[in-house]
Structure 1
Amino acid sequence: MNALRRLSRVAVIPTGAVVYLQGRRLRRDVPRLPDAALPWHGELPGPDPLRLLVLGDSTAAGVGADTQDEALPGQLGRELSALTGRGVSWRAIGENGADARELIERYLDEACALGPQDVVFLSIGANDALGLRSRGAFVRDIRVLLDRLREASPDAAILMSSLPAFFRFELLPQPLKWHLYLHSRSLEDGARAVVEAFPGAHMSPPPPPYTEGFFASDLFHPGPIGYRDWARFAVEDAVSAGMLRG
């Protein structure tokens, strides 16, 4: 299976025309939800506030939620505050549809200019899979992101999300679903090897089955319940991995 993952882009060729048409139809038919409303920063009261940065694609932009408070940044902030008993100052930076290269080119300077963070949560890779970017290019971009983020925040816990479990997305038709799953696992395998070798960084394992109410109305992005479950899973996993302590 690992060998098949490494050849995931080649595996598309026999059904390439069908996958292409299904991808076009998906982009046409899936409702395009807006980003979460501004502001993309917030505070949770408490002593010695933790500084949290959420950096990434549509999930950093809060697509699927009305506000960032009920999207990933706010939900992560609440989980961190409950864990540590500290306040949390959170901020989100990113763009709906961004892949790893676009994140570097458009937003990494802004993220690094914020000054040192205590926790950086990186959510990227879904659009790299959707765009069938090569594993090598994605891995190089992850190295750049980790290096720059570590330079800006020497003591931060850098947490990277696993890629979406596309095989559980009910709106995706076959064979598109299978190819997206295969290629996303290939990208994740490459990224995981880099993250695991990087000091002070950790990548979440694949998520558990999505709960009822996880998805927003487009059946693609998380809604507030999904962001809550995701944040809880990510923080609990980081604690188990020794990345975060109460």
Structure 2
Amino acid sequence: MFYYPLQIALAPILLYQGKQVRKTALKLPEAAGARQGRCGEGEPLKVLIIGDSAAAGVGVDCQSEALSGQLAQALSHQFDVHWQLRAQSGFTTYDCMRAIEVTDCVVDVVVVSLGVNDVLRLPNVNVWMKHQSAFISVLRQTYQPQQIILTQVPPMGHFPLLPHPLRFFLGYKAKLFNLALSKWVQQQNDCSLLDISGELTQAHMAKDGFHPGPKIYQRWGRVVAQEIIQNRLS
């Protein structure tokens, strides 16, 4: 495979570009607002959103615009939604797993947003899948969900913030991570993997060129809600 030899050859350039991006990137805060709530009428539904900066709503001002608010709103037409958000900027899958606390809080659905920081920090896809498998096991033991919804690593090869060739390599690596995760999810009865890209473009991203903007969060919330509704009706 050409990817790894070329990555080694260009390592000094990629490392330099990575340092420059971290140094100059616009730092956006996590979305403000409540991280738990209740809305809607109908069958009770407990939802946990867990993950990284995208789960935390970086790129929009408030949680009502972020994944948590958009998902709760989309589900509220059919369910009495009890939702909570546990997310932090910079979290990898391993970080998120370590942050999970022993609890008697059983939920119906867990929605996961992880992967970008893993692509940035992990050496290869094998380590990624070990962390993913362990993380899902901890989710099952801790929250006993009926359904776990994962979102594909976004197309990092299209992130405006990233210069080439760094953008190409991270984009390709994200594709490898998604391919491995997709194969693993197919063997899990309680997991699904969503691709939310659809007709979204670079123009829909936040002003930092790295995080979701309002339109991405809107679509993300609708797609996840549809997955939950279909699962509950089947």
What TM-score do you get using the length of structure 1 for normalisation?
0.86
CA deviation vs aligned residue, 1:12-39 (integer Å, no higher than 9, x gap): 1121111111111111121110111242
SS in 1 for 2:233: coil
CA deviation vs aligned residue, 1:193-217 (integer Å, no higher than 9, x gap): 2222112110113622424752122
Match of 1:158 in 2: 148
Matched-pair contact (CA < 8 Å) for 2:205–2:212:
yes
* Residues 11-22 of structure 1: pairs in structure 2 closer than 5 A: 11-22=6-17
Query: How far off its partner does 1:239 sit?
Result: 6.0
Provide the identity percentage.
28
Give the whole-Å Cα distance in 2 for the aligned partners of 1:154 and 1:165.
31
* Residues 1-246 of structure 1: pairs in structure 2 closer than 5 A: 4=1, 8-82=3-77, 85-105=78-98, 107-109=99-101, 113=103, 115-205=105-195, 207-211=197-201, 214-236=204-226, 238=227, 242-245=230-233
Give the whole-Å Cα distance in 1 for the aligned partners of 2:232 and 2:110.
12
Give the whole-Å Cα distance in 1 for the aligned partners of 2:232 and 2:161.
35
Matched-pair contact (CA < 8 Å) for 1:57–1:124:
yes
RMSD across aligned C-alpha pairs, in angstroms? Answer: 2.2
Query: How far off its partner does 1:142 sit?
Result: 0.9
What is the total number of aligned residue pairs between the two structures?
Answer: 234
CA deviation vs aligned residue, 1:25-56 (integer Å, no higher than 9, x gap): 11112111011124211221313331111110
Moved more, 118-127 or 209-218: 209-218
Query: Partner amino acid for 1:103?
Result: C
Matched-pair contact (CA < 8 Å) for 1:59–1:221:
yes
| Cα 1:116–1:100 shift into 2, 3 Å | same
Matched-pair contact (CA < 8 Å) for 1:121–1:158:
yes
- Consecutive unaligned residues of structure 1, counting only runs of 5 or more, are none
Give the whole-Å Cα distance in 2 for the aligned partners of 1:95 and 1:10.
34
Matched-pair contact (CA < 8 Å) for 1:42–1:74:
no
Give the whole-Å Cα distance in 1 for the aligned partners of 2:107 and 2:89.
23
